[in-house]
Amino acid sequence: PGRLPLGEEGPVEGGPPDHSYSLSSGTTSEELLRKLNEQRDIIALLEVKMKEMKGSIRRLRLAEAQLREEIREKDRLLHAASAGARKRHGL
């Protein structure tokens, strides 16, 4: 009960497409070309965004390296200062 007889489960010839992204047989070459060009535009935009993001990543890595170097330098100065203070106080 509730099951379709064999042969009626698949899409019917000439019936609606299986998926929303399926193309009906009536899709013209002009429509396909327009869709293809839209996709190419989207890909071109994404490639530009990707290049921008790679540039941002490079700048951030550089900034990170500079900040780490500043921290190392400040640590060295702090250790030198605290070592000098211990000597002066006889600790």
Q: Residue 4 has what pLDDT?
A: 53
More confident: 9 or 32:
32
d(CA 20, CA 1): 29
Structure tokens that stand for 85 in this block: 């203070």
What does the pLDDT look like over 18-38, one tens digit per residue? Answer: 565 666 667 799 999 999 999
- The domains of the chain are located at 28-90
Q: Residue 20 has what pLDDT?
A: 56
Q: Under a CB-based contact definition with an 8 Å cutoff, are residues 11 and 17 in contact? A: yes
Q: Cα(first)–Cα(last) distance of the chain, in Å?
A: 91
What does the pLDDT look like over 53-69, one tens digit per residue? Answer: 999 999 999 999 999 99
d(CA 61, CA 38): 35
